[in-house]
Structures are given as C-alpha cells and as structure tokens.
Structure 1
C-alpha cells in the first residue's frame, strides 16, 4: 500500500491538472468510471480524462519510484496513441527522498508547437536528441551497461531484455530511420511527414515513464 502522503500528492496534482485543462476549455472527468470511458479503455482506470472538440487526453499521475516495470502504463499509452485525436500524458511526481527525474515534457511540447507551425523538419530534428536521452535514461534504469551506445543499439538491447514491447520497438526504429534520412541526406532529403513526426513524438511520450 502506498504511503498516505504519496496518495495525497497525487490527488493534489490531479486537481491542479484538472483545473489547468478546464481553464483551456476542456471537459474534464477525474477518476472516471468505466461507463464514462470509450470502449477501448473500459478495462482501465486513468486518473483523469480531458476532452475538447479536437483533442482527448488520458492522464496518469505516478511517483517516479513506482514507474520501473510499469508495463500497464506502456500498454495504456500504446492503446491511446493508436487512436485518432487521443493522446496519453504521464505526470511524474518527484520522490520525496530522491532528486526529481528529468522532464522532457516541455521540450516535446516545443517540438509539437514547431510542427503545428509547419516546421516539421525542425520539430523532428529537435526530438531526435530527446529520444536518445530518454533511451539512455531507460537503459540506466534497467541496468543496461550501454548507456553511451547509439540510440538504435539501445533499442535493440532493451528489446532483447523485454523492456520495450514490440510495437514500441518498431515505433522507435521508424523514428530513428526518419532521423537518419534528415541528418545524412542534408538539404536534399525528403521532408518528414506529419505522420512521421507524430510517430517520433509518441515514441518519446511513451518512453518517458520508463526512465
């Protein structure tokens, strides 16, 4: 059972995030019941779901110490990210007895803003080092002694150890292939598509909670 102070911190964070989304015009349901969830999420229990005309957000709030090995979160993130106009957001609370984890969320948000402005090449190039950094964090968290290896090698090793599920492995490798094309071909390379950017951004979002 989690300490009462941990759960209290999660509830405070939930209330704060709910207020933020409501201030942006979203309809927010905190701790939704199964009947309040779409069919593809009926067997889940997210902390919060926010809806707007063009965006649907599933929010989970966790302590950093509880994340390692949380395969249920990976499954939920994959399930949500596969749906049009749905996205998964993980809020990581710092452990009271340890340093806060690296938060790549603001950097990913900036990349999304660049993509919305039509700068897909800039957005993808800004996400590639973030993806590599998150992979290094996952490797360290799982005791993989290859933290300084290239990103593709880390994906292969984490896949071999069963840390990354196959769909996430495929997503990461596809994202890295986009990066290879952009960095190797220079100005003559084919610009990334919105689908390719979203795959890269979703890979970053899904990996974040494993680090």
Structure 2
C-alpha cells in the first residue's frame, strides 16, 4: 500500500489560498496575494493582510488563520477596528482546513458585512456557479443565526437543526421554514458529492431570503 507524506504547513496554506483566489476571481474580483502597503488604503496603517480582492465599489481584505480561538479573536478585534467608518472596505477571515466558501467569519456586530456576502453569493449565481452559491448561501444562513444570537464563536449546526432553531425563535416565518427545509436534501446531496444535484436560481434566492429575513429582525 502506498504511503503519502503529509503536506507541510506552507503547502496547505498555498493550496488554501489558491482555492480562495479561484473563488474571488470567479466572482469578478482582482485577487492579490500578500499585497504591499502601497496597494492598501492609508487607514490600515502598518497592517498587511494575506490577500486583497477588489472590484469597483467593493474592496475585501482577507486574513487567513489556522483555526478559531481566543488568541485569534483578540487580534481580529484590533484589525476589525481599523475598518470603522470605511463602508467600501470589508474584512473577511478564513480558517485553513475549511472550505473557503464556508469558512468566512463575520463580525457579529456588523450585519452590513453579512449583506455584502449576500451580494457575493449573487455574483457567483450570475456567473453560473450555482452549486457554490447555494452552499455559500447556507453558510450565511448559519452566520445570520450567530449574528442574531450574538454568539462570538458559535457552533456548527446540522441543516435541519439550523432551520428549526430559526423558526422556533421567530427569526423566519413558517412559510420560509417550509421552503428552506425542502432544500435540505439538495444541500446535503451537493455537499456529499452528488454531481447530478443542481440548484436553481430560485433555490439560491430562497435561502438568501431566509438570511435576509433573519438579519432584518436584528434591526441592523
């Protein structure tokens, strides 16, 4: 039986960053790995992110971390503070080891940042990447619940539990619950590798409607 040496930390990071690059470029962004200070706005000071994604009217600074935890949370709080008062610039955080489409961490104090991700999902949909858009929409639905409950780190929830919690807490209407619950099987088939499973534009928009419904009750 052949044996394979584990990837080095550098190789893992390189592969992860290339997946991020593909995601952003598919959505029409110009992606820059390890941008220089002169490529960044003055308000970031000496902070140099891991990557930068840009297109007209939308600028995304990308920070990559090994894993969530108290130490990373502390440093990210300082970084997030740099973006106050600059609505055209956003901080996205991705954790190595996860799917870039599902590993973005959103500041629970900033529902407008969540809404910017919703537009990214629609960019993916318009570009024809419906499967990626559909799965990312589901990840945003989980983020919307964390935002609503003000959980700093949150916990993973199965899709059925996620939808049930949203409904039980009154964050989504019963009709929304029914429609989104009907998409759980499709979501699971895509996540588990069913290449014949293909969401429609309406499926994606239905999940995004649940995201927006959840966010709207925050008053953000």
Q: TM-score, normalised by structure 1?
A: 0.46
Bigger fraction of residues in helix? 1
